[in-house]
Structure 1
Amino acid sequence: MRTYGQYCPIARGAEIFAERWTPLIIRNLHLGCDTFGGILEGAPGLSHTLLAQRLKQLERLGIVESVPKPQGRGHRYQLTDSGHDLFGVCETLGAWGARWLEIAPENLDPYLALWSMCNALRPERLPEQRVVIRFDFTGFRPHERYWLLLEHGETEICKTYPGLDEDLYITAEAEAFVKWHAGRLSWAEAVRDSRIRLDGPPWLIRAFPTWNARSMFAHIKPAYDRALPNRGGGPQRTAGTLNAG
């Protein structure tokens, strides 16, 4: 690991926190992803090899610990007290990003928004019976289709047809779905403009937006009125981009 060679706590903390993928690993562990595969699922682009390296490093530093699974082989990963404190840094960074950084086209990954949505569902509001929801995403990326399975308060995202009857069909522009989840677009706006369309039983259509499946930063109002200096004579633009979390 490269170091700044300074005693300053900011420098020493940044040597750990600013490693690529480390904040997302900490975030995923906080959200309850306690297996190797679960952590990977919420970090598209992270390789198996690099995740293994990062987890070993975080264990060595006392930020993450692994414990044997109660049943079967393998280990579960969890944050230590130090790791939970470090997630507080993730929260502060996320709040800053939600306030000051726009969501650019390259950040519009509907799968990640769907994965994040599943971690924000309120189990007490979910239907008691099994529900299968098909999502069709259009827009910036090629057409993407996923299935969300809800049963007994548990959720599962399938990238291939699960062989079960579909109860609700949701067709959404990737941009609209991501920005709704991130709190940049209200459900009423998205549905009114047909950017998100639902087809299925009326009770399920009414219930879906009440499951409170938005980002933990959706309540933060962006400060995009603070524009960069207009040096080129064209339209002013606001600063920065950040993946929705």
Structure 2
Amino acid sequence: MKYGQFCPVAKTAEILGEKWTILIIRELLMGATRFNQIQRGLNLISPTLLSSRLDKLEDLGLVIKKKSPALKGHEYFSTKSCRDLLPIIKMMGEWGMLWTFSNVTNKDYDMELLMLYLERSVATDHLPDGETTIKFKFVDLQQNANWWIVVQDGKKDLCIKDPGKEVDVYITTDVKTMIDVWMGEASYRAAEKNGEMKIIGHKLLTQKINSWLKDSVFKGLPTASNI
């Protein structure tokens, strides 16, 4: 995409204005390094298009591609120019919360993205030593209704199949309620009181869920309907 202008806004738009590029950068800045990790946060993108976008970001100096010494394939790492986009990405999210969040529909409730965000939101340093397993059950889904997050030695593993671990916390709800709570539109306690969510497990974990399952960074931001 070329605009034929020397304006720095136009030159930036030539890089960031292509479909998926901003969201690929979002995933890189959130810590994704493997191809499948990036794709997991962008479930509608084709592998071919993702590969093409990553190659272009590498050519432009926003990404460094390295062969993984421990795993097959490559890993992708953000450069300083890519990391300098973090404040812009955050500002886009803040603008989106203010002016576009009211446009969210049921079609936008991406289950895989929600679980990816919840996995990233687990603060491992606020969990007990040893292994902790959290099970999520979504009552409004017929397929992929059960998910597990297993934390061990500071590492997190998101599972769609039963890992066979002893579950420490059970969270039963629907997708919209989980998103609303994580985004700060509702609280865990209010959702429980309204019968929209059940949280069962070790009291140490269930009573202080906000300490180890962090909210979205956009929690508390106003929306256009509130100003």
Q: Under a length normalisation based on structure 2, what TM-score does the superposition of the two structures give?
A: 0.90
C-alpha distance after superposition, 1:174-227 (max 9, x if no partner) = 11101111121122222221212112232232233321422111131222146x
Aligned to 2:219: 218
Distance in 2 between residues matched to 1:40 and 1:197, nearest whole Å: 31
Q: Does 1:110 align with 2:108?
A: no
CA contact 1:109–1:178 (8 Å) conserved in 2: no
- Name stretches of at least 5 consecutive residues in structure 2 with no aligned partner: none
Q: How many residues get paired?
A: 224
Which is worse superposed, 48-57 or 190-199? 190-199
Structure 1 residue identity aligned to 2:88:
V
Distance in 2 between residues matched to 1:160 and 1:207, nearest whole Å: 27
Q: Does 1:94 align with 2:78?
A: no
Bigger RCO (CA 8 Å, 6+ sep)? 1
Aligned to 2:55: 56
- What SS is found at the alignment partner of 1:43? coil
Instruction: State the Cα RMSD in Å.
Output: 1.9
Distance in 1 between residues matched to 2:183 and 2:157, nearest whole Å: 21
**Residues 39-54 of structure 1 aligned to structure 2 (within 5 Å):** 39-54=38-53
**Residues 67-82 of structure 1 aligned to structure 2 (within 5 Å):** 67-82=66-81
Structure 1 residue identity aligned to 2:80:
D
Distance in 1 between residues matched to 2:118 and 2:208, nearest whole Å: 15
- Pairwise CA distance, 1:72: 4.3
Higher helix share: 2
- Pairwise CA distance, 1:60: 0.4
**Residues 135-150 of structure 1 aligned to structure 2 (within 5 Å):** 135-139=136-140, 141-142=141-142, 144-150=145-151
Aligned to 1:29: 28
- Pairwise CA distance, 1:109: 2.4
Distance in 2 between residues matched to 1:133 and 1:72, nearest whole Å: 27
CA contact 2:41–2:112 (8 Å) conserved in 1: no
Q: Does 1:205 align with 2:206?
A: yes
Structure 2 vs 1, CA of residues 178 and 198 (structure 1 numbering), >3 Å: closer, same or farther? same
CA contact 2:27–2:38 (8 Å) conserved in 1: yes
Runs of 4+ in structure 1 deviating by more than 4 angstroms, as ranges, are none
C-alpha distance after superposition, 1:86-143 (max 9, x if no partner) = 233211111100122223222222331221122122221122121222211133x545
Distance in 1 between residues matched to 2:52 and 2:150, nearest whole Å: 32
- What SS is found at the alignment partner of 1:67? strand
CA contact 1:110–1:137 (8 Å) conserved in 2: no
Identical counterparts, % of pairs = 31
